[in-house]
Amino acid sequence: MKKYNFTIYDLLYSMQRVRILCLLALVALALPLWGQGGSKSKADALYGKEQYREAAAAYEALLKNEGEAAEIYYNLAGCYYKLDDIPHAVLNYERAFLLDPGDADIRANLALARGKTIDKVVPPSEMFFVTWWRDLTNCMSTGAWATLGITAFILMLVGLLIYMFVSRLAARKVGFYSAVVLLAVCVIANLAAFSQHYGQTHRDTAIILAPAITVKSSPSDKSTDLFLIHEGSKVEILDGTMPEWKEVKFEEGKQGWVPASALEVI
């Protein structure tokens, strides 16, 4: 039988090769992130130089190549706002708000951009608990709600363990009532996270981009004219099955048909 002599030098050589392979793997994983950071830095630099059109193109490319991000949508919206392209500014602020509704800057700038639209909309009144739930859901992002839900669940289990295994009555009471409260927090957090996630994956709202469009009573140019709507208005898509026409509902409650080319989904 052939014998193999494995010395300490062989062991060190093998460990060195493993370290080199690990380093190469880390570099390969970091390259996409490094490229994203470089692209964003370039776009930010263009924005800082007030080259808003070039910065907008850079942010658009970044979204196309790297995927959605609230910060990129926010910066892109700022470019369009500086270019006085209000409908695209509103569109991208809305997209940023959809991904991170708890961000105060996004809220403020969205309100500012919408204030520059032609059509001033007064939404219909709604039940107070609907408004309360929407405001509560939008106070944090999906990730923040999910983190809160997981944390509350773990702490609830701790409270139950205290209730079940600690002999002191006072500690057991604290554990029990804490578990009840944390259960409620866990349920609310998960419902809020699910509600936001559903809105992000089932996008049924859009922004009118055409300067002015006549809303029709049916999906045909020959149908009755209902009313005129201007760029920057937000609509809910009721029927999106037709390729050339969309049935939409406006925030004040009116509805009708508009050409699909006149709007873009948030």
3-state secondary structure 5-36: CCCHHHHHHHHHHHHHHHHHHHHHHHHHHHHH
Give which of 212, 218, 205 is closest to 244, Cα–Cα: 218
State residue 201's pLDDT score. Answer: 82
Measured distance CA(209)–CA(87) in Å, rounded = 6
Give which of 101, 87, 35 is closest to 213, Cα–Cα: 87
Instruction: Count CB-CB contacts under 10 A for residue 198.
Output: 10
CA 122 to chain centre: 25
Amino acid of residue 109:
N
Q: In this structure, are residues 163 and 176 in contact, taking their beta carbons and an 8 Å threshold?
A: yes
**The tokens of 168 are what?**
């002191």
State residue 31's pLDDT score. Answer: 47
State residue 205's pLDDT score. Answer: 93
State residue 252's pLDDT score. Answer: 77
State residue 251's pLDDT score. Answer: 78
**The tokens of 68 are what?**
């959605």
Judge if pTM exceeds 0.85.
no
Q: In this structure, are residues 100 and 141 in contact, taking their beta carbons and an 8 Å threshold?
A: yes
What is the mean pLDDT of each successive set of 10 residues along the chain, which is 266 residues long?
Answer: 50 52 48 54 91 95 91 96 96 95 93 90 73 86 91 95 91 94 95 87 91 93 92 92 92 89 93
> What pairs with residue 235 in β-bridges?
206, 250
**Residue 48: its H or E element:** helix 8-48
